[in-house]
Chain A
Amino acid sequence: MWNYSEKVKDHFFNPRNAGVLEQPDGVGEVGSIACGDALKLMIKVSPADSRILDARFQTFGCGSAIASSSALTEMIIGKTIDEALTVTNQDIAGYLGGLPPEKMHCSVMGAEALRAAIANYRGEALEAEDDEDGALVCKCFGITEGLLTRAIRTNALTTVETVTAYTKAGGSCATCRDKIEMVLGDVNADMVSEGLLDSARAFRYRGRGLAEAAPVTTPAPARPTAPARPAQVRPSHAAAAKPAAARPAGGALTLVRKIALIQEALEAVRPTFQRDGGDVELVDVDGDTVSVQLFGTCVDCSMSSFTLHMVQEKLSEALGRPVRVVPADDSLAA
């Protein structure tokens, strides 16, 4: 059972403003039955001062989807259109006392429905809206680049896993993972240059075998790290051409700096483990071999070699050079 807050339960069991609004001034519809959740938001707007007089919703979805819809209507009634546009999915989740990470996409759906309803009220053509929203990234759940960008920005997302939890993109066939990584890399790079994100946390898109061009020896947070983008020459041919040149001088890292980078990268993946009831901890660093200790469900997980592989990828990414990740026990035995 999900650990829903009392506020979520209250809004699910006693939804506010559910139902149809007759002759609405704006209607926003998002989601689809295939996705497992869909929301239709209807608003009534005062022509005098652009204030939202009434809002109603109809939602197909789980407990948190219905609760998010209900919360949204409560939050926007009485606001002007401009005020309402400042409501983010974080605001919705916060209003509800938080949502489980896997359920954050419900709050994103609410924020998207609000945008759609206001666009509809303003008479902005939906087709134009669609174009602005950019290319379709996740075909399974119909997630556009625009939606991804907004979710990444609003929630300061820096991993593909959290992007999936917040938007569902990549949650089914996962073939769009590469596209998600590209969008995430672009948006994070923009956020870094705008001073909204610490460059050390930013996701860097990188094609297979093409290591980060920028040295990671002294990533002073103040320095704008624009190079996240230059590395994004579509890798397919470039990578194969000169793999040796792509390898940065790893020796430049001091041990302390190296451990700091590893710790940082591990911190970033820990929520993924903790969601499944496990955890991961750094035990030792010996040259290019990093030993980690897996805890909880991770230990017995038949996929633990997958897990280590995933950690290895993240660490190699953070250090800008290939490292080997081994379970702590193995390394002791060796």
Chain B
Amino acid sequence: MEPAIYLDNNATTRVDPEVVAAMLPFFTEHFGNASSMHGFGTAAGAGLARARTQIQALLGAAHDHEVVFTSGGSESDTAAILSALAAYPERREIVTSAVEHPAVLSLCQYLAKQEGYRLHVIPVDERGRLDLEAYREALSERVAVVSIMWANNETGTLFPVEQLAEMAHALDIPFHTDAVQVVGKLPLKLADSAIDMLSLSGHKLHGPKGIGALYIKRGTRFRPLIRGGHQERGRRAGTENVPGIVGLGRAAELALAGLTDENTRVRALRDRLEQGLLARIDHCFVTGDVDNRLPNTANLAFEFIEGEAILLLLNREGVAASSGSACTSGSLEPSHVMRAMGIPYTAAHGATRFSLSRETTEAEIDRVVAVLPGIVERLRSLSPYWNAAEGTTKTFEPAYA
């Protein structure tokens, strides 16, 4: 088998060896508690301070103290949303989108069901673009928080969050965005935006798992999720995960340096993959907002076959990808993102995501383009919906389901 080809970077990334190197001394040498007064504590504290400025630089934030370290994207999302609800207890409505990550969507649904909040779930169109009119109508002085993702993890589609934040601000509504897929992939300048809170995650940008951050714009009312010690200026208690934070800082620095590569070479590789597959495989199409999306993400729907079967055969060829198919998640329906876009079932079950990174090579892409057509053909030859002789679909209506 060829060396493994990892194209699932929206799920997680390989920790950059330079990140690991930066972290290691903080396990065994600078292992102190940053709150301690002795030299061990000072070294750890210096690591934290440096990491904070590295994140600030990647985000284009005005102040380093706007960065609060957390355990990852889900904690950041939860802290941001619950903080806004606590800060505006008289407001009983929440605005989010239909294609959010479960970290946001499940929490909002829980709050609606258990706490009685009114939830506005803004729909998307067939290309995954947010319904701006519905968004405008949902905004009111009754809304405690808007939480809308910057880029969709499945399709890479970008939402105009800077504009959405300004619309929310006009009504004095705090705006949070889950940006775990954007940070490290696109240049950001939060200092110039109306975004109040932003979540990021270390392991999506070649940093370690279990570390992330919440950007909280200066002046934003914030109520901590975790109370206790005075860490993070009282905004997130708990002894800091110093090695993780140092790793996240170094990862942010490397990502900032790699932004040009991400938006030129990686983007070109992604396009090469898509064009190669579209040219060789019939009845397949790219999902999402093709002209406005992350440079590293390609989501192709292969009609009349099922995603898990594609992934199993790809895996045998050493290619790692992911799918929005029902079967891969253990749920019984295709992904909520595919359904929100109204992708027909004939295609949604076969939606396959390839997410590249700065480590992806042209040879890897060419290998995928070489093996995938055979895999699709093989599965279609097994499928009762596919008529191989005519290369078209045929009527297959089971008598009883």
Taken together as a complex, chains A and B put the C-alpha atoms of A159 and B401 apart, in Å, by 22
Distance from A26 Cβ to chain B, minimum over Cβ atoms (Å): 12
On whether the beta carbons of A61 and B327 are closer than 8 Å, the reply is yes
On chain B, the residues within 8 Å of A66 by CB distance are 309, 382
On whether the beta carbons of A19 and B106 are closer than 8 Å, the reply is no
Taken together as a complex, chains A and B put the C-alpha atoms of A202 and B107 apart, in Å, by 34
On whether the beta carbons of B381 and A171 are closer than 8 Å, the reply is no
Tell me whether A62 and B306 are in contact in the complex, defined as CB-CB below 8 angstroms, given that A168-B332, A172-B333 are known contacts: yes
A154 contacts chain B at the CB level, 8 A cutoff? no
**B contacts, CB < 8 Å to A:** 78, 106-107, 110, 114, 304-309, 312-313, 315-316, 325-328, 330-334, 345-346, 349, 381-385, 396-401
Tell me whether A302 and B385 are in contact in the complex, defined as CB-CB below 8 angstroms, given that A30-B401, A60-B304 are known contacts: no
A91 contacts chain B at the CB level, 8 A cutoff? no
Q: List 5 A-B contacts (CB under 8 A).
A: A62-B308, A102-B330, A116-B400, A130-B399, A302-B110
Interface residues of A in 55-69 (CB under 8 A from B): 58-66
A12 contacts chain B at the CB level, 8 A cutoff? yes
On chain A, the residues within 8 Å of B327 by CB distance are 36-37, 61-65, 103
List 8 tightest A-B contacts by C-beta distance, closest first: A142-B401, A171-B332, A62-B327, A29-B398, A62-B308, A58-B384, A40-B384, A34-B345
Tell me whether A12 and B398 are in contact in the complex, defined as CB-CB below 8 angstroms, given that A33-B345, A36-B332, A141-B332 are known contacts: no
User: Which among A62, A64, A164 has the highest number of chain B CB atoms within 10 Å?
Assistant: A62
Residue of A nearest to B114 (CB): A305
A303-327 near B? 1/0 per residue, CB < 8 Å = 1011000000000000000000000
Tell me whether A61 and B306 are in contact in the complex, defined as CB-CB below 8 angstroms, given that A302-B78, A305-B114 are known contacts: yes
Contact of A29 among B78, B345, B382, B399 (CB under 8 A): B399
On whether the beta carbons of A171 and B384 are closer than 8 Å, the reply is no
Residue of B nearest to A60 (CB): B383
Residue of A nearest to B78 (CB): A302
Residue of B nearest to A126 (CB): B399
Given contacts A34-B345, A61-B309, A61-B327, 15 further A-B contacts (CB under 8 A): A1-B315, A15-B382, A33-B349, A37-B306, A40-B384, A59-B383, A60-B304, A60-B349, A61-B306, A62-B308, A63-B312, A129-B400, A144-B401, A172-B332, A302-B106
A18 contacts chain B at the CB level, 8 A cutoff? yes
Interface residues of A in 139-159 (CB under 8 A from B): 140-144
Distance from A134 Cβ to chain B, minimum over Cβ atoms (Å): 11
On chain A, the residues within 8 Å of B313 by CB distance are 13
Taken together as a complex, chains A and B put the C-alpha atoms of A322 and B162 apart, in Å, by 51
On whether the beta carbons of A142 and B385 are closer than 8 Å, the reply is no
A35 contacts chain B at the CB level, 8 A cutoff? yes
Distance from B106 Cβ to chain A, minimum over Cβ atoms (Å): 7
Distance from A161 Cβ to chain B, minimum over Cβ atoms (Å): 12
On chain A, the residues within 8 Å of B334 by CB distance are 36
On whether the beta carbons of B325 and A60 are closer than 8 Å, the reply is no
Distance from A239 Cβ to chain B, minimum over Cβ atoms (Å): 23
Taken together as a complex, chains A and B put the C-alpha atoms of A275 and B383 apart, in Å, by 30
